[in-house]
Structure 1
Amino acid sequence: MTLSHARGPMLHPRVAVLRRPSGAVQLGWDPERAVLLHPPADDTDAVLAFVRLLDGLHSHPQLLWEAGQLGLGGVALELLRDIDAAGLLVWPRARRTRVRTVHIHGRGPLADSLHGGIRRLGITPTRSSEYRGGTSDSLPSTDLVILTDALVPVPELVSMLLVRRIPHLQVRIRDGHGVIGPLVLPGGTSCLRCADLTRTEFDAEWPHLAAQLLGRTGYASPATIAATAALTLREIESIIDDAADDPPRTLDTTLEFDPCTRRVARRRWTPHADCACRRIGATVTEPAADDRAASVAGGHA
C-alpha cells in the first residue's frame, strides 16, 4: 500500500497491534507511547476488525459505515480521534514533489550503501565516479545528485550543478565523523562555495588545504559508515516525500555525526555575500532547471 494510492487513513505500518487479556487493544509496545483502545461491551474482536480497516483503502465514510456494521457506530469517531491524536495515522495527501530520479556521484562505502538504500525507496539511482568536464554526458539529467565520499568535490562539477540548477546533497567522512549536507537548492539556499568562502574567512589558508583534499576519501569504522548512510537516507526520504511537517534538516545546514558520543551536531551555513550562486541561478536557460529546483524545494526554501 502506497500513500499515492490511498483513499483514507492508514495505521502506520510501524505500529504493532496487540490484544491484552483485559480485552483492551494496544497499538504499539513502547511503554511510554503505546495507545490503549477500550472496546465497548468488551467487544475486542470488533475493535480489532476496525483497526484492520485502517489500511488506506477505505475512505472516511466507508470506515464509519463499516464501523456501524461491526456495532461500533457510536464510538468509531472517538477511536479515530484517539489513534490520530497519538500520531499513529497516516492520511492521504497529494505528493507535491517531482523527484523521480536520483544520481549518486562518488566512489566509496557511502556510495555503495546509499545505492542500496535508495533502491529500497522505490528509485533506482544512476551512478558515476569520475567527472569528465566539458563532455555532454558528464552527468545525466536528474532531479537530485548525491555527492558522496569525496572530502572535497571537483569544483567544476559543483559549478556545473549550480549552472544547471540541479539540487545536490553532499555526504562524506571528515576525520572519522560523518558529515551530511548541506542540501543545495541552486538559487534558493547557500551552496558549497558559500561554505568554502565562509571557512576561508576563519582560515585564510583553507583553499590550499582544500586543494590537497581533492580526490581523497575519508576513513571511518563500519558503524560510522552505516550511521552516516542512514542519516543521509533519511534526508533523501524527506526530500522525496516533501512533507510540510518534515522538511529536510540539511537546508543551509550540515549534520555532523560523532561516533564516540553518538551525537549529531548541526552547523549552519548561510549564503555568502561574495558568492555568485544566486546570480548563476538567475541566468539559467535550461527549461527543466527551474522545475527541478522548485520540485525539491517544495515549500521549504
Structure 2
Amino acid sequence: MHPMVKPALRRGWRDRGTVQFGMTPAHAVTLGPVDPATEGLLKLLDGTRGLASLRAESSRAGLPAARVDTLVARLTRAGLVDDARGGGPAAHALREKPDVLDRLRPDLASLSLVTPEPGGAPARLAARRALRVRVLGAGRVGALLASVLAGAGVGEIDVHDVGRVEPWDLAPGGLTAESLGDRRDAAARAAVRRAAPERPPRHAHRPGSGAGDPGFSLVILAPREDIAVHAPDPRAAEPLLASGTPHLYAGVVEGTGVVGPLVLPGESGCAGCLDLDRRDRDPVWPRLVTQWRSGRVRRVGACDLALATTVAGLAAAHALAFLDGRSPAGAGTRWEVCLPGLDWRTRPVRPHPECGCGAARRSKRERSSTDGGRRETMAVQRPSTERQRQAGAARPTGTWRAHV
C-alpha cells in the first residue's frame, strides 16, 4: 500500500492543532489534536512511499514506527486515505495509459470522495471500461447521454434509433451539424467515439441483438417521442424484464424533464407498475393513452435544449451510480422538472400487485419478514462483475471529528 491523503479534498487549519480536509458538509472531516510530529507525517502521505518507507522516515524523525500505522489506520477509518497503487490489475492497466487516465482524472477524484476504501476509486473507474450499456434513442437527450457515459469511461455504448438526423436533433455534445441526413444511430455512435477517452471495442455495434441482451449492464430508454416519455409502453420493456436487465428511463415531454424510474427487474416498480397505478388513480387514463398513441404525431416536440442537457446529465449520473455499484435514488422513482420554475419533484413508482414483473410479490415477502414492523431496505441489484461489488458504506453527511 502507498497511502495518500485524498488529493480531491482541500486542506485548511481551523486552529494550530486541528486540520480540516474538505470544504463541503457532505465530505468535510476535521482531525485533531494534530501535534507537529503528526503534521510532519501527514506531509509524507502523498502516495510516493510504501508503508515500509514511511516507517523508516518516522524512525529517522525519532518517532516509533507504529505511529505511522496508527495514523494511517485512523485516517483510513475516516475515509481520508487512498492507495496510489491500489485497485487491482485493471486499475494498474489503466495507469499504463496515461493519456486515458489524464482525461478521467476529474472522474477519479470524484469517485475517491464517495469510495471510502483505499484503492476503491481506481478500481471502480477501471471497472467501467469493461461495461456494456445500450441507449435506445438518439435525440437531444439520448445522444448526449450516451456521449457523457462514454466520456466518463464506460467502455462500450451501443446506441439504437431509426431515421435520419434532423436539424432539431442537434445539440452541443450530441449530434453535430455535420451529421445532418445521416442515420441517427450511426451519428450517435460517432458522437460516442468522439467523447470516449480511448478507442471503444470494435464489436460495439451488434446488429440484430435484442433490447434484452443479458450482456448489457444497463439499458437506457431515451425516446424522442413525447408520449413514450410520458407514458412508456410496458410491452417495450418485456424483453428487459425477461432477461433481468436493469433499465432506466429518461426524456423530455412538453417542457418537462423526466429521469426514472431505474428498474431493477423483480425488485423495483417498472413501466407496467406505473401504467397500472395511473389506471387506478385515473379511470380515463387508458382512453387518453390510446388517443395519444394513435393520434397524429407532431413533427417537433417541446424539448428545450437546456432542459434536455439537464436531463441527460442527471440520467447519466444515476446510470453511473448504479454501474459503480451504489444504490441510486432513481430506483423505483421518477424525477420530474418543469419549465420555467425548474423545481425537481420525485414521484414513487411502487410495485403494483397486478403487474407481472414480480416486484410486488418480492416486496410483500420482505414486509412479512421484517422484525418489529420495520420494513427492510430493498436490496439493489448490482452489475454482476466482481470488480463492481466494491461499494463501501457512505460516510454520514456533515463534519466528522477524529482524534489522531
The correspondence of residues 1-301 of structure 1 with structure 2, limited to 5 A, is 7=1, 11-17=5-11, 27-30=21-24, 33=28, 35=30, 40-41=35-36, 46-50=41-45, 52-53=46-47, 58=50, 61-62=51-52, 65=55, 68=58, 71=61, 73=65, 76=68, 77-78=70-71, 81=74, 84-85=77-78, 87-89=79-81, 90-92=116-118, 100-123=131-154, 124-130=156-162, 136-139=208-211, 141-150=215-224, 151=226, 152=228, 153=232, 155-211=234-290, 212=292, 219-243=302-326, 247-258=327-338, 260-278=340-358, 294-296=381-383
Could you tell me which runs of 5 or more consecutive residues in structure 1 were left unpaired when the two chains were aligned. 1-6, 283-292
> Does structure 1 retain, via aligned residues, the 8 Å contact 2:17–2:35?
no
Q: Give distance in 2, aligned partners of 1:78 and 1:255.
A: 43
> Does structure 1 retain, via aligned residues, the 8 Å contact 2:234–2:271?
no
Shift, 1:234, TM fit = 1.8
Partner amino acid, structure 1, of 2:267: G
Q: Give distance in 1, aligned partners of 2:41 and 2:338.
A: 48
Shift, 1:181, TM fit = 0.9
Shift, 1:178, TM fit = 2.0
> Which one is further off, 116-125 or 12-21?
12-21
> Does structure 2 retain, via aligned residues, the 8 Å contact 1:171–1:179?
yes
Q: Give distance in 2, aligned partners of 1:218 and 1:65.
A: 65
CA RMSD of aligned residues (A): 4.3
> Does structure 1 retain, via aligned residues, the 8 Å contact 2:144–2:309?
yes
> Does structure 2 retain, via aligned residues, the 8 Å contact 1:102–1:126?
yes
Q: Give distance in 2, aligned partners of 1:275 and 1:70.
A: 69
SS in 2 for 1:125: strand
Q: Give distance in 2, aligned partners of 1:10 and 1:175.
A: 49
TM-score (norm. length: structure 2):
0.54
SS in 2 for 1:200: helix
How many residue pairs match? The answer is: 270
Shift, 1:271, TM fit = 1.3
User: Identity of aligned pairs, percent?
Assistant: 26
Shift, 1:20, TM fit = 9.8
> Does structure 1 retain, via aligned residues, the 8 Å contact 2:3–2:72?
no
Residues 38 and 224 of structure 1, relative CA distance in 2, 3 Å threshold? farther
SS in 2 for 1:277: coil
Q: Give distance in 1, aligned partners of 2:337 and 2:148.
A: 19
Partner amino acid, structure 2, of 1:112: A
Partner amino acid, structure 2, of 1:81: R
Partner amino acid, structure 1, of 2:55: W
> Does structure 2 retain, via aligned residues, the 8 Å contact 1:180–1:254?
yes
Q: Give distance in 2, aligned partners of 1:63 and 1:157.
A: 59
SS in 1 for 2:353: coil
Could you tell me which runs of 5 or more consecutive residues in structure 2 were left unpaired when the two chains were aligned. 82-115, 164-206, 363-379, 392-404
Shift, 1:177, TM fit = 2.6
Cα deviation, 1:147-191, whole Å, max 9, x if unaligned, reads 014431455422222222221100112332322111112222221
TM-score (norm. length: structure 1):
0.69
SS in 1 for 2:286: helix
